[in-house]
Amino acid sequence: MLPVPVLERAASEMLDYNGSGMSVMEMSHRSAVYEEIIQSAEKSIRKLMNIPDNYKVLFLQGGASTQFAAVPLNLIGRTGKADYVVSGQFSNKAFKEAQRLGFDVKCIASSKDTNFDRIPVVTKDMISPDASYVHVCFNNTIYGTKYNYIPDTGDIPLVADMSSCIISEPVDVSKFAVIYAGAQKNMAPAGVTLVIVRDDLLEYGKPDMPSMLDWKLMAENGSMYNTPPCYAIYIAGLVYEWILGLGGLEKMKEMNEKKAKYLYDYLDSQNYYIAPVVKESRSMMNVTFVTGVDELDKKFPSEAAKAGLVNLKGHRSVGGMRASIYNAMPYEGVVKLVEFMKEFAKNNPKN
């Protein structure tokens, strides 16, 4: 979901942005009007996340999946090696991509043996002393897990894919060397990927990497080496302004915790639905649950859709149900979901 006030503002500016006589979709990215839009978006995300001055903010293309290749291409030049923590499908894809490129990477921790029902514990002694970086996926959409701590990697740069939890709560950016996130969960429509990278790490890129994956080149060109995803960046800027207007990430966290607590409290209070994630690793953004009966798990999403509750089918790799309660989902939506869950349980007893 996108916030209604953002959609309303975008609608009001669709035909004529700020008296320019054009939609943002139509204007040149080299125009003064658009330069103000992208610069304003960067200023807003810096303020919202309290990004230190020694970090570059990049608005890139290709989704977070493209960064699975860009991360090693830009960073592995430090030592030639890297460590990965595999806590779900996307962190595994990132690990496999680095392997596919022929790099010397190692999985130092994984929760695969328990079907990714928890976040692996990562301690300093597990990390290779000569690793270029340690890569983690901070929130796992498919399995409904999230890091409840920031791994202490010492002097080894920590890289985090935050695609599905970005700007959902405050985060100390200085604890990370790189944060990257696809926009389509919490920030904007699909098309733009946010990369926050510490300045000193821009010197380690592979000299023969594709230009479009080169963070240093993109930073030197203000994210406009080529035509950027202009409209998605514009919407992202409006979303940042919306959260700042609410009171910033502290307020966003308060709202998200309230929603998640209401749903988890219900799941913990009954025995019809099963929440497979261990409590210490539960995600605020993605709540997974099953009935334990395949037929009922298949019936639930279709019945929910009839009640106006959509996109509740779990990922095909795990089945069951998944409620994605991202920033723009109102508390009332979670209340309605719980009401439906109670009604479904009453009308569909297990044999």
pLDDT digits (tens, 9 = 90+) for 302-346: 999 999 999 999 987 788 999 999 999 999 999 999 999 999 999
Instruction: Answer whether residue 351 shows pLDDT above 80.
Output: no
CATH architecture for the domain at 249-347: Alpha-Beta Complex (3.90)
Query: What one-character DSSP code corresponds to residue 314?
Result: P
Phi-psi region of 319 (alpha: psi -120 to 50; beta: other; left: phi over 0): left
The string of DSSP letters for 96-139 reads HHHHHTT-EEEEEEE-GGGTT-SPPP--GGGS-TT-S-EEEESE
pLDDT number for residue 6:
98
pLDDT in tens, 194-208: 999 999 999 999 999
327: Cβ–Cβ under 8 A, 6 or more apart, which residues? 3, 167, 168, 186, 239, 243, 252, 255, 256
Q: pLDDT tens digits, residue range 211-252? A: 999 999 999 999 999 999 999 999 999 999 999 999 999 999
- Tens of pLDDT, residue by residue over 112-129, are 999 999 999 999 999 999
Fold type of domain 4-246: Aspartate Aminotransferase; domain 2 (3.40.640)
pLDDT value of position 179: 98
Per-residue pLDDT for 43 more than 80?
Answer: yes
What's the pLDDT score for residue 335?
Answer: 98
| Strand bridging mode 178-182 / 158-161 | parallel
CB atoms near residue 108 (< 10 Å): 19
pLDDT at 5: 97
User: Which amino acid makes up residue 140?
Assistant: N
* Residue 249 contacts residue 48 (beta carbons within 8 Å): yes
Residue 99: its pLDDT value, please? Answer: 97
Q: What is the pLDDT of residue 316?
A: 79
Q: If residue 321 lies in a helix (H) or strand (E), which one and from where to where?
A: strand 321-324
User: Can you give the pLDDT at residue 307?
Assistant: 96
pLDDT band per the 50, 70, 90 thresholds, residue 8: very high
- Model confidence at 104, pLDDT cuts 50, 70, 90, reads very high
- As a whole number of angstroms, the distance between CA 237 and CA 192 comes to 12
> Any idea which residue has 């990697």 for tokens?
153
- Cα-flanking dihedrals φ and ψ of residue 91, to 5°? -65, -30
User: How big is the CA angle at 141 (ends 158 and 74), to the nearest 5 degrees?
Assistant: 30
Residue indicated by tokens 């209340």: 335
Is residue 10 helix, strand or coil? helix
Domain(s) of CATH 3.40.640.10: residues in the chain: 4-246
pLDDT value, residue 317: 75
What pLDDT sits at residue 13?
A: 97
What pLDDT score does 315 carry? 85
Task: Reply yes or no on whether the pLDDT at 134 is more than 80.
Answer: yes
Instruction: Give the per-residue pLDDT at 37.
Output: 98
d(C-alpha 105, C-alpha 183), whole Å? 27
Indicate the average pLDDT of the chain.
Answer: 96
Place of tokens 């903010």: 57
Is the pLDDT at 40 greater than 80, yes or no? Answer: yes
135 has pLDDT over 80? yes
Each residue of 261-312: pLDDT tens digit? 999 999 999 999 999 999 999 999 999 999 999 999 999 999 999 999 999 9
pLDDT of residue 160: 98
Helices 294-306 and 331-347 meet at what angle, rounded to 10? 130
Q: Residue 199 CA to chain centroid, in angstroms?
A: 22
pLDDT at 319: 85
Ranges of CATH 3.90.1150.10 domains, the chain: 249-347
Sign of CA dihedral 235, 240, 243, 249: positive
